[in-house]
Amino acid sequence: MNVDDKTKLHLDNLRALQAPSGLFLASSHAVKTGYDKAWLRDNVYEALAFEYSGEWQVVTAVYHRLLDIFDKHIDKINWAATNKPFESWQFIHARYNPETLEEFWESWGNKQHDAVGAVLFKLADLEAKGHSMLRNDKDRRTVQTLIHYICNVEYWHDADSGMWEENEEVHASSIGAVVAALKKWQEVGGFDVDPDAIERGEQALKALLPRESASKFTDLALLSLIYPYNVVDRDMARQIVDNLVYHLAREKGVIRYKFDAYYNKNADGYSEEAEWCFGLSWLAIAYHYLGESEKAKMCLERAAQTVTPDGKIPELYYSNTDKPNENTPLGWSESMYVVACYELGAES
């Protein structure tokens, strides 16, 4: 089976999550979990599948709308780029109405530096690859404002809610996302990127790794430092993967971190953590990066086994069960599986 045959269904699953604006929802329009919204981070990861399949009109639509979101809220971002934000609502929000591009104002962990880093990194990465998403001088000014913003908030030691939108801590995955973004824009050139902000980020990341945070020894989010950011050396990448597999890998996925209460099957929230499906695809990509093809192939085979009978990849399965949660399909899960298939050349 070639890559196109293996990925067509999952690309179609993703297409079903795309709003008329071009942005992707996190999950189905019909879910009652709140996942019928557009997250900055999820859109970056969901667009990856179409970058690999060469469907540039889909990728372009995503990034143009993301730039439109920032432009819509540029006054707020300009303020935070020159003043020190002190309330969470003063920071760039993480999720938006996919049509009106308005922020959702519920009080939850919406201070997420890694989400801003993710968008900035991919904009720079696509620029470097000759697929510029910047339409005009306004987009260039927006990117410059985002660079000034993320440096002004002093991301290298500013606690945020991170990839999982939970308690505010200094997260290695958030620092790494921003370091990767700033270094990539520095490489591309044409923008004011403070080298001191990069150095501070690199030092903070080195001091924290291989931990994710003060409270988490290892965490699924750390795989982002290997892919897509490639911001750690091979030895650290191996240590991250080894720690994660030993502590977090399960049959139907990878738990996010020890004692994760989200969809925990045990009422005490202390054990039986949910098994996140995209963790297996992400591990396959990480092992591929490390040159461990057999382990990569095994992880991709296990990822394929998470597909439901109707052909969808869920957010997660309850611990030690064949029961997925309601967020099925999860766009992020579908996309990471497609990426893993392309990275491994559909070897499994």
Cα–Cα dist 134/143, whole Å:
9
Give pLDDT, residue 300: 97
User: Do 116 and 148 meet the contact criterion of CB atoms below 8 Å apart?
Assistant: no
Amino acid in the structure at residue 232: V
CA 142 to chain centre: 21
Among 340, 248, 217, smallest CA distance to 286 is for 340
Structure tokens at 317: 């399965």
CATH of 3-344, one of 1.50.10.10, 3.90.10.10, 3.30.70.1230, 3.30.70.330: 1.50.10.10
Q: In the block, which residue shows the tokens 């611990």? A: 319
What are the structural domain ranges in the chain?
Answer: 3-344
Mean pLDDT of 268-296: 95
Q: What angle in degrees, to the nearest 10, is found between the helix axes of 40-53 and 56-72?
A: 160
To which residue do tokens 């432009």 refer? 71
- The pLDDT score that the predictor gives to residue 268 is 81
Secondary structure E strands in the chain: 38-39, 95-96, 275-276, 316-317
Backbone angles phi, psi at 322, to 5 degrees: -105, 20
Q: Where are the alpha helices (DSSP H) in the chain?
A: 3-15, 40-53, 56-72, 74-82, 113-128, 137-152, 172-188, 195-208, 234-248, 278-289, 293-304, 331-344
Global pTM reads: 0.97
Q: pLDDT tens for residues 315-340?
A: 999 999 999 999 999 999 999 999 99
- Mean pLDDT for 261-268 is 91
Place of tokens 């999550």: 17
Which pLDDT band, with edges at 50, 70 and 90, does 104 fall under? confident
Q: What is the pLDDT of residue 109?
A: 80
Q: State percent of the chain over pLDDT 70.
A: 99
Q: What is the tens place of the pLDDT at every residue in 28-46?
A: 999 999 999 999 999 999 9
* Best CA proximity match to 273, nearest among 307, 343, 308, 321: 321
